[in-house]
Structure 1
Amino acid sequence: MLEDLQIAFIGGGTMGEMIISRLLSTKIVPKADLIIVSDPVSARCLHLEREYGVRTTTSNIEAVLGVSIVILAVKPQILAEVLGMLNDKIPPNALVISIVSGASISSLCQGLNHPAVVRTMPNIGVQVGHGTTVWSASSSVTEIQRRNTQIILQALGKEFATQNEHYLDMATALSSAGTGFVFLYIEAMIDAGVQMGLTR
């Protein structure tokens, strides 16, 4: 359990919601009001409030005020804008955990002007608690912050830490492109079955 640590989610999309759901259902986060989610879409904020009881805002800067952990869960194409907005705004002792595909630790540290950053690559199984997440931390991440990272990621399934960030690039390729090939294979098998006379 994360003892009364305030967590900010920057981005309340599908992956962010899956992590919120797992953290609350496993009681890793004991109270929903310990989580604040920032999302530019008001309807999305309302959905998350009603579904999970979390606090929401449309302001990224407001979301990170006084929190212990910031989880970056935005699309890669808007990351630069978000980093610019949050530059020098993360509390000094906070941990930043990124699930943004392809964003290196150095680019995150530089973009946020913040030293304690963990880069993660979760896969699709996290939505049912049976995912695998590879992660790597900057040298400024403390032992307590590393442990908190493990606690969060274990709510999603298995977690593997590595000092070699290159492994996250490989995990990205396997969990995104690799999964796509599996679905393509399944679709081809279904099509073949239909051609042989089975119903779809």
Structure 2
Amino acid sequence: MFNDRTISFIGGGVMGEAMIRGLVEQKLVAPDRVVVADPWQPRLDELGERHGVQVTRDNGEAAEAGQIVVLSIKPQSVGAVLPQIRGRLRGDDLLLSILAGTPIRILADGSAHAPVVRAMPNTPAQIGRGISVWTATPEVSGRQRDEARAILGALGREIFLDDERYLDMATALSGSGPGYVFLLMEALIDSGVHMGFPRRVSEELVVETLRGSVEFAAQSGKHAAELRNQVTSPGGTTAAALYHMEKGGLRTVVSRGIWAAYQRSIELGRVGDERGKGGAD
């Protein structure tokens, strides 16, 4: 799909590499049509050797080289990076950002570039099982939308929404979601060890229980409450456990935690706005 296009990545971290791996392994782009910019030379050497991509420490050089420029840096670095690529993108280039909590207005103003896609993937993208929520400015063409969809599709599933406010919600729910799942896994595994299981056995039981439950829920098409009721016999072991979890406020704690993540994403956008303005002046 990208035979005549060069894709540049500003930032060679975990998510950037996941996108590169997906694109190259699915043969959507040739390795020599991928450019990666990162300040850490050992990381660049690693990426170049592992994936056969071009590398540079110059963000502006990478931006000029690509028709599609992917921002895969830390949100805290946006104020320093945007001035480095400002004026380097051509009018028909696409800027695609996976920065958490960084609004499109910051990206467009800081880069002086209107065609912008903002996306929020999550960490299962590293194995091609992620899900990304994304939106685009009106200046993004139909071809560019297809390209954005293909890039994000290399990470797993993707959902387009035309209202940017959903991106902060997605950051809190699906973007940070794996962290919540890993915490639950940790608690379940530790509970198994507390009862007397060897940790290795407890880990296998928990991982397979979660994997099977999620796949069963996806295939069944039933509401989570209905599935829960199916395994909760009156007066049984599951009912006893769920009673204490509900009594302990599990739902409230989860809801408050996700709301805090949502508010933090919005706050990061405000902080980034100040940094973006400072960098662009």
TM-score by length of 1: 0.96
SS in 2 for 1:65: helix
| 1:144 correspondence with 2:143 | yes
Q: Distance in 1 between matches of 2:193 and 2:66?
A: 53
Question: Could you tell me whether the CA contact under 8 Å between 1:124 and 1:175 is conserved in 2?
Answer: no
Unaligned runs of 5+ in 1: none
Q: Equivalent residue for 2:118?
A: 119
1:24 maps to a residue whose letter is V
Question: Could you tell me whether the CA contact under 8 Å between 1:96 and 1:117 is conserved in 2?
Answer: yes
Q: Distance in 1 between matches of 2:180 and 2:18?
A: 23
Question: Could you tell me whether the CA contact under 8 Å between 2:8 and 2:65 is conserved in 1?
Answer: no
SS in 1 for 2:32: helix
Deviating 4+ runs (over 3 angstroms): none
Question: Could you tell me whether the CA contact under 8 Å between 2:122 and 2:176 is conserved in 1?
Answer: no
* 1:168-183 equivalent positions in 2, closer than 5 A: 168-183=167-182
Query: How many pairs were matched up?
Result: 199
2:127 maps to a residue whose letter is V
Q: RMSD across aligned C-alpha pairs, in angstroms?
A: 1.1
Q: Equivalent residue for 2:38?
A: 39
Q: Distance in 2 between matches of 1:80 and 1:51?
A: 30
Q: Equivalent residue for 2:101?
A: 102
Q: Equivalent residue for 1:51?
A: 50
Q: Equivalent residue for 1:186?
A: 185
Q: Which moved more, 1:40-49 or 1:150-159?
A: 150-159
Query: Structure 1 residue 167: deviation in Å?
Result: 1.1
2:8 maps to a residue whose letter is A
Q: Equivalent residue for 1:73?
A: 72
Query: Structure 1 residue 177: deviation in Å?
Result: 3.5
| 1:7 correspondence with 2:7 | yes
**Residue 151 to residue 176, structure 1, CA distance change in 2 (3 Å):** closer
Identity across the alignment (%): 44
Query: Structure 1 residue 121: deviation in Å?
Result: 0.5
1:162 maps to a residue whose letter is L
Larger Rg: 2
Name the structure where strand makes up a greater proportion of residues: 1
Cα deviation code 1:48-84 (max 9, x no counterpart):
1100000000000111124210000000111111012
Q: Distance in 2 between matches of 1:46 and 1:108?
A: 28
Q: Equivalent residue for 2:17?
A: 17
**Residue 25 to residue 102, structure 1, CA distance change in 2 (3 Å):** same
